[in-house]
Amino acid sequence: MFNKDCREYLARLISFGNPRAAEEDADALAKKFDDLNYLLHVDEFALSRADEVDKNTSSYIRLVSALCSRRITDKFKNGKKYSQNEIKEYIIGLFFGLTVETVYIILFDENGKLISAEHLGDGTVNASGFLPRKLLEVVLRKGAKSVIIAHNHPCGRTVPSRNDIIATTIAENVLADANVEFLHHYIVAGFDIDDCLNDTFETIAGEDDYLNVSVNRGKKRKS
């Protein structure tokens, strides 16, 4: 929730891009959105629909989101080895502020050093068309020995959908045939990140978009 301090911080943030509307827009945004994290992940259209929010403010907040993403990802360098928690931070940064579902593959060499993160497509993991052709193409071109697949659920939850589970199984088989280790398939929602390859999920029965049974991949892989 937007407490007094958070609302004042938002007003100061807006004032750099649109000083005349800072106080009014901060009040309107605080009423419209639950918290600052959620605000930084909504699209410009949703921002512009907030009552009395100036268009310049909407554009400025989207720019701030993009800069936040770069601030996180730019400190990670290809050719270096990182811990699992550091890689999670990197992946969260890749998706910061994105308002459409996006798929990335993070590639590692034989020593576990970061090769690169490659954009595989937009849309759901099923609709993005990244499996299996594009997945194999990127892995072979980069010479990766192990990979992480990651995608986001904008303004959503990290619970895997049916398509997420199907895509994970397909990727698992494709990578096994190529003798490439599949480390994780992370789902990112804001600052939350979960692994639908290795973790157990209790999903809500009756929801059409999500599996309504427990999913346990149950496979232990080194990270």
pLDDT digits (tens, 9 = 90+) for 169-218: 889 999 999 999 999 999 998 888 999 887 655 443 333 343 333 334 44
For residues 66 and 107, state if they share a domain: no
**Under a CB-based contact definition with an 8 Å cutoff, are residues 69 and 89 in contact?**
no
* pLDDT classification of 46: cutoffs 50, 70, 90: low
pLDDT at 155: 67
For residues 66 and 88, state if they share a domain: no
185-196 confidence digits (pLDDT tens): 999 988 889 998
Question: Beta 200-201 vs 215-216: how paired, if at all?
Answer: antiparallel
* Chain-centre distance for alpha carbon 63: 17
Range of the domain at 34: 4-71
Final residue of a domain: which of 71, 97, 126? Answer: 71
**Would you say residue 41 has pLDDT above 80?**
no
pLDDT at 147: 97
CA–CA separation, 183 and 15 (whole Å):
43
**Would you say residue 1 has pLDDT above 80?**
no
**Would you say residue 129 has pLDDT above 60?**
no
Percent of the chain with pLDDT over 90: 32
For residues 155 and 105, state if they share a domain: yes
Final residue of a domain: which of 52, 71, 90? Answer: 71
Residue 29 lies in a domain: yes
Prediction pTM value = 0.70
